Amino acid sequence: METALFSPSSLFGDASDSSSDEEINDGVNHNFVERNHQFPGMELIIREFSFHQFNANLLWPGTFAFAEWLVQHRAWIEGKHIIELGSGTGALAIFLKKMFQIDITTSDYNDQEIEDNISYNCMINGITPALPHVKHTWGDDFSNVNPIWNLVIASDILLYVKQYPNLIKTISFLLKSYQPKENMLAPHNEQDDVLPDPAFLMSWRRRIGKDDEALFFKGCEEAGLQAKHLGSRVYCIVSRN
């Protein structure tokens, strides 16, 4: 996977006013920084990597925009069993858990540091035990061969163009292999005809080229997936099968 080098400070300006390095033993650990982030209706403390080779340190703008959109469309996610792809710090999942007390699982690249950091962020924001987490590298076999999540979400995950085929493979598996359990059926609501079950909701604010954007949606179409723009750069993707 290619590495894109970005600094969190380039997104949020001077972090010195709202962050502090985590102290470990009698020294300062410069591998992490804690920041206060404002989400709709609440503030979260999120520990971020100072640098991570797969950008699991960053809260992209799409995280906050997607959070606002999901609050406005809460009827579409309440009662759902959700997995987030590319959770990074876990901030969006933690927000949704605190706001709606929904069933949500985080997932990201197969990396123990990512899982440990999400667990830490759950703890400092009052979520105990930590949210369930799945280590999954896009394109690899999924650990759960009978996925029970009827809603997959993600924000700003289209940065790595060369990973599109692997990302689409993972999305296809989750949508086409969905196996609900009798005691985990989502309640019916008037929005079911708008948000099929299962579905993938994706939002992004990171700028990517139109050719790259077209490449992703063409790959989805070739994989038997259908995408619909819901506005505010939020897309719903479902299986045509």
The answer as to whether 174 is a domain residue is: yes
* Helix axis angle, 164-176 to 210-222, nearest 10°: 40
If pLDDT is split at 50, 70 and 90, which confidence band does 26 have?
A: very low
Q: Residue 157 sits in which domain range?
A: 59-239
Please, what is the end-to-end C-alpha distance for the chain in angstroms?
Answer: 30
Helix (H, G, I), strand (E, B) or coil at 33: strand
Tokens standing for 101? Answer: 């007390």
Please check the confidence at residue 162 and state whether its pLDDT lies above 90: yes
Number of domains comprising the chain: 1
Q: What is the pLDDT of residue 136?
A: 93
The answer as to whether 35 is a domain residue is: no
The answer as to whether 165 is a domain residue is: yes
CB neighbour class for 61 (10 Å; exposed up to 12, middle 13-18, buried from 19):
middle
Please check the confidence at residue 227 and state whether its pLDDT lies above 90: yes
Interatomic CA distance for residues 68 and 164, integer angstroms: 26
What CATH number does the domain containing 200 carry? 3.40.50.150
The answer as to whether 18 is a domain residue is: no
The answer as to whether 233 is a domain residue is: yes
The answer as to whether 227 is a domain residue is: yes
The answer as to whether 180 is a domain residue is: yes
Rounded mean pLDDT of 146-161?
A: 93
**What is 4-17 written as a DSSP string?**
----HHHHHS-GGG
Interatomic CA distance for residues 147 and 232, integer angstroms: 29
Q: What share of the chain has pLDDT > 90, as a percent?
A: 64
Confidence (pTM): 0.83
The answer as to whether 89 is a domain residue is: yes
Rounded mean pLDDT of 147-174?
A: 95
Please check the confidence at residue 158 and state whether its pLDDT lies above 60: yes
> Mind listing the pLDDT tens digit for each residue in 60-86?
888 999 999 999 999 999 999 999 999
What are the backbone angles phi and psi of residue 92, rounded to the nearest 5°?
Answer: -65, -45
Please check the confidence at residue 19 and state whether its pLDDT lies above 90: no
